[in-house]
Amino acid sequence: MILIYYIFQVYSLILLARVLMSWIPNIDPYNPIVQFIYNLTEPVLKPVRDILRQNFNTGSIDFSPLIVLIIMQMLMRVLFF
């Protein structure tokens, strides 16, 4: 059970890294670290992004990492506290 908690924590940090990378204008998309982070997060972010795009007009702001982090925090509270 504690392993799942740490997996959630590490994934939260990876999502945060993805958000921070999006603020860097000239980041190399072919860098192995960038590709690794992208490949880990995109399968989770894409469905949320699609739902947001269908139901809400958010313009060019991507709220999917925020939504995923909120859902993960809620799951962690239900499972571990």
Q: Where do we find the tokens 């947001």?
A: 52
* Rg from Cα positions in the chain: 14
Beta-carbon count within 10 A of 66 CB: 13
Q: What does each of the 81 residues of the chain score in pLDDT, given as a tens digit?
A: 889 999 999 999 999 999 999 999 999 999 999 999 999 999 999 999 999 999 988 888 899 999 999 999 999 999 887
Q: What does pTM read for this prediction? A: 0.87
